[in-house]
Structure 1
Amino acid sequence: MAARTPTLRQLVALLLAMILLLPPLSTTAKAVAAQPAELRCIPPGAATVAVPECSWRQHMPHVECSKFPPDAPAPGRAKLSLDVGGGNSIDSRSAFCVTLTRFQRNSCDTCFESLEFRNFTVGWAVIGPRCTERDCSIEVHILESVAALSPLKYNSTSTEFWNFTSPVFREDEDFFITVAFNGITMWYTRCSISLTNIYNLGKTSIEKLVLYNNDNISTDLKLGMMPKLKELTIANSSILDFPEDAHVLMPALERLNLRDNRLTSIPASIASMRKLEELNMCGARLRRLAGQLPPLPRLRELCLCNTGLCCLHQEQDAFRGVPNLELLDISQNQLTSLGGALRGLSQLQYLDVSRNQLTEYPQLWIQDCREGLLSFAFNHLRTLPDCNSFCQRSNVLLLDVEHNQISSWDGSPDMLSSNDRPWVVGTLVPLLENGPQRYRVCLHERDFQLGTVIVQNISRSMDHSRHTIVVLSKSFLSSRWCLWEMDLANHRTLDPSQREFIILLELEPLERSALPRHLRFLMDTRTYVEWHQASDVQYEDQAFRRLKRALGPSCFTCSDVSRC
């Protein structure tokens, strides 16, 4: 029997039946939005995804998107930069290529995550026609491959970072520069990230890796090949060992921070890190350096605070391999003496030996202090040293000896201006104390209370005096101690009733331009006594009369005994 040719009605019915049998279209399918014809941000026809909740403010070069990536279970915030190439202002055109600059998010309010990029073009954007003075509507589209990146899962069993095996993160792309966990919030939150995840960062262009406060119980740190890494921080993460081949895996490393871990020695691999400039091992369990540090000629900063160090005075060559140190922190240890352990550190600008048990100062010879700071606070020191014993050339050397038992000083000219003391003790004091008015003068060698901290003696003496006579000379200007005493006395003049507390006595002509600014101001705004040393008895009598007028009645004749 011959086959019948289907009629038109039958063909239509068959077609409708086939359509009804087709599965429904996926609701998650992404449309390929066409980028504006004038842009060349992404390859033509590449699939893109719209990013919701993005905003832009006028005259700002970046866009903030609060749900990025758009399909992630726990999206974060992204900062996208607008490419305004050719010097055109943002207002002059409506469509721009966008580059991903920063991504950050919190996971259940426990861990802060941040990724940074450089020149990473991910899509394009169009600014809406209605743009108010504050937030503007903006349409952002990013590549589907970027939107599909799998973010890190925060739990102790996770072994996945972002999908760094994706071609998007190839090393030769050279745009991925930083990954940080708690890099901003620092000590306030905790993470629980498997340290084996760090291995997956190998073969990327990462330059900085930061991980603070990791609660993960695994202490096995394994590193991948990161040839461009310059800064590595893994702090407070309980790691026990540092890879022996770290110098091969990170040949460009400049800054290494391993503070507050469970390391018991300085990692052997740093001996071959020739570019290392900063090393932080605070909080480790070192106790002894067990010999000297390896030769690290570029190392400028070394932090060994709270590491249990006790015997550096027995390891005199400990720092010989790091002669260019500018900062050394060995505070919060158990050091009773340093001896000559610091003798070769001639480039130091900052030394912190606070909160130890020192009873003597270290042997230290700094070439040029340049406003350096030496902190010996919270120790058991009893003397105040001569700053020149520490530094060859010093503009300003700050010495912190807070909370010690200082009751004496070395009596050097630089500290006490002893060049002027023969005149003060032999001429000025007898005139004041043995004259008709019999003023009472406070001299440190005679009137300071023995066994009391020197700073307290000076402050107490000023509190119980009506005036402080400042004898100005070239020796005075070169004495840091004398300048400090004058600054202390100058604070009293902030009280209007104490404005004349300081009496300036110029012992020799001084060049005004060489005076400190605050001293020059005092001499320009107040009357001072010129007592230039000369053989003219009449001149000296006249200078003494001016001094007595400034002092007023003596304590033995004034009626206001509360002022005596």
Structure 2
Amino acid sequence: MSIPGLQYLSLEYCGLSAPPKDLFSNMTSDVVELRITNYPGLKTLWMNDMATTGMTLASNLFSHPTLEELHLEGDNIAFGSEEVVPSNVFANCPRLTRLSLIQNNFENVDDARFLELLGHLSLEVLKLSGNKLTSFPLSTLTNFSNLSRLELIGVSISSIPDGAFDSLRNLSWLSLTFNGITTITKQTFSVETRERLNVLYLDMNPFTCTCELMWFRNWFVSDMELFHHNTNPPLEYNCNNLPLTSLANFSMVEQACLMSHDMNVMIVFICSVVIVTLTIVSLVFRFRWHIRLALYEVFRGRGDVRRLRLLADHFDYDVFVSYDKEDLPWVHQRLMPELETRLGLRLCVHERDFIPGNNIVDNIVECVQSSKKILMVFSKDFVRSQWCQFELTFCLTHVMDYDDVLIIVCMDDVASRDMTPAMMAVLRTTTYIQWEELDDAEHSFWGRLRLALHEIIPPPDAALP
């Protein structure tokens, strides 16, 4: 077939299942542009469902010496199948420089298959919009060094490798509209590539507006024409993670972006761990005696260690009395007559029984170890005495080691805010005896104290002189 002067041939909307195998075999016309398209329009190509069946192409179908521009759009051609698209379908097209393959099927098209089909063409314009290129590496495009225009609209690209387009030395028009791109960094496009581009469409991508995107945001604001190119109305560039915020209006404090996101996350994590650790250590230290006493109560024995110690050891004293010097009158006038005179017990009272010249700590340790029981007189003055607090700490350790208990006498109402953690722990885990100067209350007090000391009170005959 020869049609003099025929340069443009369109087979649009013909509903072809496959172009004629001898489309160019008998054609002597100098056809420059060929269109075989079946889709309704570019405006909605990435929103439409593809046809259920696609075209089948014959070997050497487009071989023609004058063909410069070819449009195969909306035909759902399965380019990944050798049976549907032979590897030589674009063979012998020496002048083919503009190729549009919009809205076809590029599943299973890897870089080897792509180069097998198109690698021999000196393409200047390539349109692959509407195809899913998830398994197609962008680095393959570096083989088309003559490309000046590249359309990749709605091809499911989620990220752009650094320098993916830098080898395309003639590229001036690039569209990556409607993909899944979240971030553009300074390394995505080299300085030379940025200077070379006249059009760069990146609208309708779900940008994540964080510190990592600030460089791109500044570039976008400084060169709006590059990203809009006289479009009316302007294209949409929005922050996907910030509703109702456009890319142009997004901003962040410079100091907040001095460190990388990963570094910020690590610092927050480390600080959180340190704070939690310090809090736990502080609580454990503050309530250490509560914890020790609670564990002691849980794991304490049945008194065997205490009874064996009372039977086996030799003791100089029956009761070690820990008190503050301000409470000495009560100890001398009330406690000692009751316990020593009436009950026949020998008390260790530091004003009387500590050995002169010995270190105070040594006196406390020796006297505690030489006593069967420990009685502590809690009062407001006891709280303020450092030596009393030392005695309390040492005595707590002592009774735990020997599976014993402290006998606590409270002289007055000691405010909880004044007490040390050790005193609070003891009062919360030990039944103490409250002193009150009332006849009935005093009688009850001595009865309870005798009950607490029943293990060491000698029989009535032994108490007589």
Structure with the largest fraction of helix = 2
Question: Does TM, normalized by the shorter one, top 0.5?
Answer: no
Structure with the largest fraction of strand = 1
Structure-2-length-normalised TM-score: 0.38
Structure-1-length-normalised TM-score: 0.32
Larger RCO (CA under 8 A, 6+ residues apart): 2
Q: Which has the larger radius of gyration?
A: 2
